[in-house]
């Protein structure tokens, strides 16, 4: 049976899906944040799970007007570049992408709000912006992807290849919908320039780990809900972290430690059942038809659709993160501890390395 409600965890702006390697379709998404609305964004789901940020993902009309933003004097940018970044990390198997550099900024030239996103950055770092990205930015409880960008133009002409190691990706704090890739060039005097064609390559091992953790978080949330919702007063799903060293799901209501073994047994059953994990796109009426608590329909434009992740025969949640293709791909998922504080419960978990 499918779940009856949804989690508010998405933070994605423009998400384009590759039909084949290097090809993108024309599905347009928009980022709504509390800042955009100029007011606190009330969580429009009965379960606000798997993220601490208030974001909602939905499809926009492909003719949405995208605008460019001015850059600082020390930055380089292509004059006709859209401010938004096309996101292409929809599939679990695509780990490379060819795209084009639209701007490059020394870290020191970033606005203060954007410098604050990268706590570990130094003056030797740069930020690269591209037309599209396969890097999942940190958000929705999920860590940032890591990897490299190499200059495709140089590869084709046997010129010197510029390489940029991506240590972190974040959504731009000022320019709505743009992804900032922080990192360092292998050779300080061999930088990209706007218009350079690059190949993005993920650290596949980390992407797989983060995807396994994210799907395992959904599995854990579903297991706890199906087991305990009827018996725990005030039960609800609140939020979660999918970071390797702090993976946990939080719930409203007090969950007794005696339930740990039953939760583990349910999680094991879901993983072993090898249930397919699928991404779908629902309009508001689809939520009503399926009996799932819908996002606030006023947040979507006419005809807008919300991205949901569904574990077949189990649960469905609005979600913008990366996932494995089936529950079995989570691997051994261990329920570590149940802790309680001020009317909420936190169930921590790990996946086998």
pLDDT digits (tens, 9 = 90+) for 20-34: 333 333 233 333 333
Q: Which two tokens stand for residue 234?
A: 């005030």
Query: Where does the pLDDT of residue 84 fall: very low under 50, low under 70, confident under 90, or very high at 90 and above?
Result: confident
Compute CA distances 142 → 52, 207, 240, 242, 279, whole Å: 10, 10, 9, 5, 17
Q: Please count the other Cβ atoms lying within 10 Å of the Cβ belonging to residue 99.
A: 22
**Average pLDDT of the segment spanning 36-47:** 30
5-19, 133-147, 323-337: the lowest-pLDDT one: 5-19
Strand partners, 316: 310
Q: How far apart are the first and last CA of the chain?
A: 30
Could you tell me which residue, 167 or 6, shows the higher pLDDT? 167
Helix 204-228 with 260-272: angle, nearest 10 deg: 120
| Fold observed for domain 207-351 | 3.30.980
Q: Which two tokens stand for residue 229?
A: 């919702």
When the pLDDT of each residue in the chain is averaged and rounded to a whole number, the result is 79
Percentage helix, strand, coil for the chain under 3-state DSSP, each rounded to 5: 20, 30, 50
Strand partners, 151: 198
Residues 29, 109, 167: CA angle, nearest 5 degrees: 60
DSSP 238: E
Give the pLDDT of residue 159: 57
The pLDDT > 70 percentage for the chain reads 71
Nearest residue to 28 via CA among 69, 68, 63: 63
Give the pLDDT of residue 288: 85
For the chain, domain boundaries: 66-202, 207-351
Per residue in 199-257, pLDDT (tens digit) is 999 999 999 999 999 999 999 999 999 999 999 999 999 999 999 999 999 999 999 99
Reduced to 3 states (helix: H, G, I; strand: E, B; else coil), residue 279 is: strand
Compute CA distances 86 → 235, 271, 272, 288, whole Å: 37, 32, 35, 30
CB 256 within 8 A of CB 272: no
Query: Where does the pLDDT of residue 7 fall: very low under 50, low under 70, confident under 90, or very high at 90 and above?
Result: very low
> What is the rounded distance in angstroms from the CA atom of residue 252 to the CA atom of residue 274?
29
Give the pLDDT of residue 97: 96
**Average pLDDT of the segment spanning 151-161:** 64
Q: Please count the other Cβ atoms lying within 10 Å of the Cβ belonging to residue 350.
A: 16
Give the pLDDT of residue 317: 86
The matching CATH number, chosen from 1.10.1370.30, 1.10.3720.10, 2.40.30.130, 3.30.70.1060, for 66-202 is 2.40.30.130
Q: Please count the other Cβ atoms lying within 10 Å of the Cβ belonging to residue 38.
A: 6
Compute CA distances 26 → 64, 237, 240, 246, whole Å: 11, 33, 31, 36
What stretches of 230-282 show up as alpha helix (H) in DSSP? 260-272
> What is the rounded distance in angstroms from the CA atom of residue 78 to the CA atom of residue 11?
26
Phi-psi map region of 213: left, alpha, beta (phi>0 left; psi -120 to 50 alpha): alpha
Could you tell me which residue, 298 or 349, shows the higher pLDDT? 349
What are the backbone dihedrals phi and psi of residue 337, each rounded to the nearest 5 degrees, phi first?
Answer: -160, 150
**Average pLDDT of the segment spanning 169-175:** 95
CB 241 within 8 A of CB 141: yes
29-33, 139-143, 192-196: the lowest-pLDDT one: 29-33
CB 189 within 8 A of CB 312: no
Per residue in 253-295, pLDDT (tens digit) is 999 999 999 999 999 999 999 999 998 888 888 888 888 877 7
Count of helix runs (H) and strand runs (E) in the chain: 6, 19
Please say if the pLDDT value at position 57 is more than 80: no
> What is the rounded distance in angstroms from the CA atom of residue 37 to the CA atom of residue 316?
27
E strand spans, 172-305: 179-185, 197-202, 236-241, 248-252, 277-282
């Amino acid at each position: 049976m499918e779940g009856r409600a949804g989690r508010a965890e998405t933070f994605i702006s423009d998400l384009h899906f590759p039909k084949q390697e290097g090809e993108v379709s024309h599905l347009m998404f928009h980022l709504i944040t509390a800042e955009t609305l100029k007011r606190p964004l009330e969580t429009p789901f009965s379960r606000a799970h798997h993220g601490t940020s208030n974001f909602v993902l939905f499809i926009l009309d492909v003719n949405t007007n995208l605008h460019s933003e001015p850059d600082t004097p020390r930055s380089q940018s292509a004059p006709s570049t859209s401010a938004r970044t096309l996101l292409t990390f929809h599939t679990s198997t695509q780990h490379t992408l060819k795209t084009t550099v639209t701007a490059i900024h020394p870290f020191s030239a970033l606005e203060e709000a954007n410098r604050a996103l990268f706590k570990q950055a130094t003056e030797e770092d740069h930020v690269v912006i591209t037309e599209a990205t396969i890097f999942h930015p940190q958000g929705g409880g999920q860590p940032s992807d890591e990897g490299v960008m190499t200059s495709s133009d140089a590869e084709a002409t046997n010129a010197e290849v510029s390489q940029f190691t991506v240590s972190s990706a974040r959504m731009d704090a000022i320019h709505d919908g743009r992804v900032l890739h922080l990192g360092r060039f292998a050779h300080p005097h061999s930088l990209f320039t706007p218009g350079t064609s690059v190949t993005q390559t993920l650290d596949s091992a980390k992407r797989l780990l983060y995807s396994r953790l994210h799907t395992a978080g959904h599995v854990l949330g579903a297991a706890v809900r199906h087991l305990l919702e009827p018996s725990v007063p005030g039960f609800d799903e609140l939020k979660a972290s999918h970071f390797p060293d702090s993976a946990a799901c939080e719930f409203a209501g007090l969950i007794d430690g005696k339930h740990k073994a039953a939760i583990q047994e349910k999680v094991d059953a879901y993983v072993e059942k090898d249930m397919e994990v699928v991404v779908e796109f629902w309009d508001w009426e689809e939520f009503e038809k399926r009996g799932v608590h819908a996002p606030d329909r006023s947040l979507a434009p006419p005809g807008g659709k919300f991205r949901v992740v569904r574990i077949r025969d189990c649960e469905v949640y609005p979600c913008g993160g990366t996932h494995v293709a089936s529950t079995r791909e989570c691997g051994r998922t261990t329920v570590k501890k149940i802790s309680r504080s001020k009317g909420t419960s936190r169930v921590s978990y790990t996946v086998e390395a």
